[in-house]
Each structure stands twice: as structure tokens, then as C-alpha cells.
Amino acid sequence: MNIKTSTIKELENLCKEIREEILRVVSKNGGHLSSTLGATELIVAMHKVFDSKKDPFIFDVSHQSYAHKLLTGRWKEFDTLRQFNGLSGYTKPSESEHDYFVAGHSSTSISLGVGAAKAIALKGEQNERVPVVMIGDGSMTAGMVYEALNELGDRKYPMIIILNDNEMSISKPIGALSRMLSSAMASPFYQNFKKHTENFVDNFGESAHYIAKRMEESLKLITPGIMFEEMGIDYIGPIDGHNLPSLIEILQKAKELKKPVIVHAQTIKGKGYEKAEGQEEKWHGVGPFDIDSGNSSNKSTLKSATKIYAEALLHLCEENEKIVGATAAMPSGTGLSELIQKYPNRFWDVAIAEQHAVTSMAALAKEGFKPFCTIYSTFLQRGYDQIIHDTCLMDLPVVFALDRAGIVGEDGETHQGVFDISFLRAIPNMTLFAPRDEKSFHQALAFAASYQHTCSLRYPRGSFIETDLPESQPFELAKSQLLRSNSSDILFIGYGNGVGRAYQTAELLNDEVSILDLRFVKPLDNEMLREMAAKHKKWFVFSDSAKMGGVGSAILEFLSKEKILDVEVVSFEYEDNFITHGNTKQVEESLGLLPLQLAKKVMELVE
């Protein structure tokens, strides 16, 4: 089907087919659902008006880009979405020439668009190419967006920004009026009138400028675009993001303006699948589910680490009114929804603003409160300077609780929580520790709540690896726990969920190893490590983290400082590569990290 020559009726039928295919595949594989269903007409209109081979199509986060994938030659492969060795759930240039940039984190799109527009200007290609950005209203809560808009409004590079606003449905009376006004504001007549009026009033001084400006603003008050216009960016909208003829007309006119334009489109989340329509957060990202009932296909009965965290923190809050906390647009994902509901004056969702989350919690710590800053490992990367400059420099007692540490599965490279140990361990005044199971998690949080310095603890997506090891002891600063002692030369050192993997591997070796739960990677339990060095000469490190700067590195640094030269250390952490998407077990198998593979490596290395 040639989208450029298709009729409106054919394109509307195409939108229906796209929605059906997305629903079919996501119900089977899991993925992002409500936002990508809602963006279908927007993406079809983009492809009708622009050319994704030459015009940079930039999707913010890109979780809403499934229709784009289907329209760019990936329909036959779409069954492999988010599967190991299959299509990514996000845009990925190595997957298709139609994907301009890797995405997965929020609020980068307008900066990318500005950079692309600069390159187009330098190449003299303004008449041939234009960046087209799609960004959701949620992503507009991050400061990086306004840094980019600030420059764009000043430089005036041609660029189309489609603001996909899915926070409300279209109100028909207002929608009809705004569609009429938006079409008028985008028309050549209005733009020429505006230009000629500006030239005319230049001859009549400040009073005429003031009157003309007030008249223009009174017209614009019908729409919420004044802020963008004041920044120097033309605004069109709001328009119905499901009205295909209107979208195509407006985008064509915006393209012809040859200036930065924001097209504000209102869409309905989950459009086309009634159960997901509206503000049901659970339909944003889903696992496999039954289309007819909407019920999840996941039958796991194990309690997730996130659930354990939420329960433990809620219990601590009941005992200590000084405990407060924040998350960055992930209240349900981090387990804070219940705390925000029960303690709305003590827990906050600050939107997609990790930098603000960290610094605001630092100020609360300065005022005598005990903040728990709860953020996915991969998203804490966005607040790194604030951790150093605003928290650790003053040694403030903020707790960083890092959800989804380790491999996160189908979300892939942009979301794997593998770097937090490496980038946090380098910071002075930072203490790092990790629980290994439910009881130790409660104990770790109890320690964190009473600790008067900056600290961070990490925990996995899903459940902890179950073990049959001795019960956890209360946490003490820089104290590990020896879980199993054996006379063999082999010591398994586990950190966090790595303890479970060490245990599984030991079971395959007939338990002929000692197992140490390291607990603290900064500071290390120097006394215990000296004792282990005297008894065991072959150490194997298990941790769901990057090898460079990780747990094994910390142990090697200790051995070097202590001048202990007769201990051999092998780390089973992740190598220096970005880790692909797919089922977690399949990804771990590809990395050689399943217990059976690890047991074989241990035997080979020992022999």
C-alpha cells in the first residue's frame, strides 16, 4: 500500500488494521499499549505528509512508535516485538533506516530535533528536509524539553513538534472551535497577515505594537499556546488527534511555514481497545494478557521485590513520621502509589524530573527529614550531577532505592539497570548495600532509615532468587554474612540478587564451596575478606551489575591495597557491552550466566 497516494478512507482503514495488529502482538508478547494505540492516526498522518527516509522522525521515549514500525517494512517481523533477537520495543537505527535515533528515556526528542535542524541548516538542506518530533504531554514535564525549546525559539530552525496530549478526551464544542482556529492560524493568509501587520505597526511606534500584540493574544486565549508563542515558536492547536483529514491538513500547513511549529494534538490513550481507553495506568506497559477479558496471563505467585519494598517502607512510615519520599513519574512501577495515597503530604510523584527529585529530597534531608528517593536504576543516571553536587557533597542522609537493578528483560539496552554500582561507587560519602531476599530487604530498609549518611540500595525487577540458606541477620555498616563455610579452596561472593545465583550454582557443584553474602560493596567488610583470603584462594563474584567498576573491581582494589597476591578473582558480572532485549532467561543464557553455564565455567577454571 502506498501511503502517499492512498485516500482518506483507505488510511482510516489502515489505522484500524494497525490497531488490531498492535493489540494482537502486545497481548501475546507484552509491551506498551495505551500510548501507542492512541498515537496511530498521528503516525499515519506523519507518514502521509513527510518522508521518514529523509526527514528525521524523532519519537520521544519511542514507546509509542509501534505504528511507525508497521508502516516501515516491519509488519512481517512484528510478531517478534520485544522478543530475543526480534524487533525492539523502541526505535533503533540498526533495525531500520526509518528509525533516526535510539530512544527509551524521556524528554530527549526536542534536543535531538534541534541538533538535526542545525545539521540540516549547515548542509543547506532546509528546502528538502525537516525534523519531525513526536512528544507526549508526560515528557513535557522534564526540564530538558524547555532547554531545547529555549534555543529553538531563539534560532528559529524549521522543525515540526507534534505534542501528543493524551491526558483528556476531545470536548466536541471546544474541539470544533479550536480546529477552526488552528486551521486558520496555520493558513498562509493568517501567517502573511501577521507578517504584514508586524511590518505595518513598525512605522507607528510602541503604542501600535502594544495594541496589535493585545489583539493577537486575545485571539490566542482560546488555545493554550501562549507560552510557546512567547518562546518564539508558532503554536497550532489543540486539534483532534484522531481526525485523520484534519491532522494531514494541519501537518501540511505546518510543513509549509518553514519555521518551528508545535502542533498540539489531543488523543485518547488506548484508542480502539475499550478496556484500555482513558487514564488507566496499568495499560501503559503490560505483560501478555487475554484480549477478551483483559486479564494478565502472568501466573507468577512470587512476591516482587518492588512489592516487598512498598510494604516495608509503609511499615517504617507508620513508625517514623520523618520518613518522606519521591519518585519520578513511576508511582506504581516503584511501589509508591499506596504511600502517596496514604501520605500525600510526605510522598510525591514529581513527574519526569529525576534531577529535581534528587535535589528536592536533599533539601528535605537538610531540614531533618529522612527521604527515600525511589527511582529505577536506569533512570537514576539522569540525576547523577545532583547526587554528587546536591547530596553527597554535604553528606546528606538521602536513601536512593534503586528498583529494576540488573537485567530487565524486554525493554532492553536503554532500561537495563547495570551501571548504578559503577557510577555510584566512585562518589565520596556514598554507601552501597543490597538485600538478597524478603527478610534481608526489611532489614536493609531498617538500616537505611536510621543511617545518617547518603546511601543506596538496589533490588531486581520481579522476585528475588529463592534459596535455602541461613536466615538473614540485621544489617550493620560494612558487615557481610558468611552463609556457608566449606574447606574447599572456592569462595562464592554474592551481592544482592547475586547471592541467589551463587547458591543455584553451588547446588550444581554439590555444595563444595563457601558462600558469602557481601551485603556492602562500599564500604567493604575488610575483616571478613582478610579471613576469607586466608582460607580460600579462588573467589567467584556474582552480581547483576556491570563488571567495570562493579563488585569484582571493588574486591580486586581491596586485594591490591592489602597486597594479597595469592587470591584469584573471577567476576561473573556483565561484560563491557550494552545488553540486548528479550526474555530475561534467554538474555542471561546468551551472556553465559545461567547457573548450569556458571557451574561449568567454575569447574573449568578450577581444573
Binding site: residue ranges? Answer: 63, 104-106, 137-139, 166, 273, 354
Beta-carbon contacts of residue 429 (< 8 Å; ≥ 6 apart): 392, 393, 395, 453, 454
Q: Which residues are annotated as a binding site for thiamine diphosphate?
A: 63, 104-106, 138-139, 166, 273, 354
Q: How far is CA 441 from CA 31, 304, 311, 448, in A?
A: 29, 12, 10, 10
Is 179 known to be catalytic?
Answer: no
For 131, phi then psi, to 5°, come to -70, 140
> Which is it for strands 514-517 and 481-484: parallel, antiparallel or unpaired?
antiparallel
Q: Which residues are annotated as a binding site for Mg(2+)?
A: 137, 166
**What's the CA gap between 544 and 417, in Å, rounded?**
8
Is 438 known to be catalytic?
Answer: no
Nearest to 430 by CA among 369, 467, 388: 388
The residue behind cell 535455602 is: 468
- Alpha helix (H) residue ranges in 336-417: 337-342, 354-366, 377-380, 384-386
Is 354 known to be catalytic?
Answer: yes
Residue among 19, 74, 129, 269 flagged as catalytic: 269
**What's the CA gap between 80 and 89, in Å, rounded?**
10
Instruction: Provide the edge-to-edge strand list for the sheet that holds 538-542.
Output: 481-484, 514-517, 490-494, 538-542, 568-571
Residue among 179, 346, 370, 382 flagged as catalytic: 382
Residue among 48, 74, 92, 354 flagged as catalytic: 354
Q: 518 is written with which cell numbers? A: 557481601
Amino acid type, 476 = E
Q: Around 494, how many Cα atoms within 13 Å sit in the side-chain half-sphere?
A: 27
Question: In the chain, count of helices (H) and strands (E)?
Answer: 23, 19
- Residues designated as active site: 269, 354, 382
